[in-house]
Amino acid sequence: MYINSGYLNDSRLPFKDKSRPLIVGSCGTYRLRTKERLPTWRPRGRLDWQLLYVASGKTHFYFDGRSQEVTAGHMILFQPRQEQHYEYFAKDKPEVYWVHFTGSDVKNILRHYGIPLDRNVIYSGTSSTYAYLFKEMINELQTCRTGYQELLEMYLRQILLLVQRSWEERKPTVSSYILEEMEHARRYFNEHYNEPINIEEYARSRGMSVSWFLRNFKQVTMKSPMQYILTIRINNAVSLLETTDYNVTEISTIIGYENPLYFSRIFRKQKGVSPSDFRKQRRAEEDSK
């Protein structure tokens, strides 16, 4: 059996602290290979939240008295005061990481990353990055170097973000073929955004019907192709306005608009001010710093 863990202020006691939005209290890992069985049962749960990650093998959890086998690539979330009952068996070769956390805004933070609060088992996918982040949290709790509490929060947020990404990319309505094609389209639009792009011609060049391409591109990116291209153009216009002395006509040409008046109208619609006024505002903000 292998175990490694770290605790905030070297305290093993669970605690509730609302002085900051998110506080990591402890973190650790188990690898069960020789010890036959490792059970955990907390009928009244803990004061804090717990997130466990099954990195390999499988585990056995009990929710409302019912047994559930949880395999690698899943995380388990326990809320404060929720009964915690689970077991690890050597024959299953489980490797598990865990973190306890508290704070004044935990629920909103979890919702922000799309973590469901109405279920215990959450798909996360398997990734060496998860193990790396958990190990870094353990190390920070053991060494307590400058700024370690901020790093602990950052590492935990990274884990939550990776779970959100895995969950989104696993949606069964989007096949790997669709994801690959939409990624190809995104790359193409990023490379050619300042050139005339005919969506119908692009779809046909990839062997797709226009309606099929439009529907799936919006499903994956949440934008139509033209909205996506517009976003790229405006973002690059903002960058040029902030970092160069090109005039509005020059910027309009650079990002793909031959008519500077049309560009100004589009920019105002997206940003609420004209390109010239936007530049003046940003420079005034810089001068006031």
**Same domain, yes or no: 152 and 212:** no
Q: In what order do the strands lie in the sheet with 2-7?
A: 2-7, 23-31, 95-102, 49-56, 74-78, 121-123
Here the CATH number for the domain that contains residue 95 is 2.60.120.280
Tell whether pTM > 0.95: no
Helices (H), 41-175: 106-112, 128-143, 148-169
**Same domain, yes or no: 182 and 90:** no
**Same domain, yes or no: 203 and 156:** no
**Same domain, yes or no: 258 and 275:** yes
Instruction: Output the six-digit token pair for 239.
Output: 């960058």
Instruction: Identify the domain containing residue 165 by its residue range.
Output: 2-169
Q: Among 145, 169, 193, give the residue marking a domain's end.
A: 169
| Angstrom distance (rounded) from CA 256 to CA 273 | 20
Task: Tell whether the torsion through CA atoms of 127, 166, 52 and 112 is positive or negative.
Answer: positive
In the block, tokens 């797709």 appear at 208
pLDDT attached to residue 14? 87
In the block, tokens 């909103």 appear at 108
Look at residue 175 and give its three-state secondary structure: coil
**Same domain, yes or no: 123 and 208:** no
**Same domain, yes or no: 146 and 59:** yes
**Same domain, yes or no: 142 and 203:** no
pLDDT attached to residue 222? 85
Q: Which of 277, 274, 270, 240 is nearest to 255 (CA)?
A: 240
Question: Residue 38: exposed, middle, or buried by beta-carbon count in 10 A (0-12, 13-18, 19+)?
Answer: middle
pLDDT in 10s for each residue of the chain, 289 residues: 889 999 998 888 889 999 999 999 999 999 987 778 999 999 999 999 999 999 999 999 999 888 899 999 999 999 999 999 999 999 999 999 999 999 999 999 999 999 989 889 999 989 999 999 999 999 999 999 999 999 999 999 999 999 998 887 765 556 778 888 999 999 999 999 999 999 999 999 999 999 999 999 998 888 999 999 999 999 999 999 999 999 999 999 999 999 999 999 999 999 999 999 999 998 888 777 6
Look at residue 122 and give its three-state secondary structure: strand
**Same domain, yes or no: 162 and 199:** no
**Same domain, yes or no: 191 and 122:** no
| Angstrom distance (rounded) from CA 203 to CA 168 | 25
**Same domain, yes or no: 31 and 51:** yes
pLDDT attached to residue 171? 57
| Angstrom distance (rounded) from CA 99 to CA 97 | 7
Instruction: Output the six-digit token pair for 264.
Output: 């100004």
Q: How many CA atoms lie within 13 A of 212 on its CB side?
A: 11
Here the CATH number for the domain that contains residue 242 is 1.10.10.60
Residues sharing a CB contact under 8 Å with residue 225, sequence separation 6 or more, in sequence order? 185, 189, 197, 199, 202, 213, 214, 217
* Total of domains in the chain: 2
| Angstrom distance (rounded) from CA 120 to CA 63 | 8
| Angstrom distance (rounded) from CA 61 to CA 40 | 10
Q: Among 169, 200, 231, give the residue marking a domain's end.
A: 169
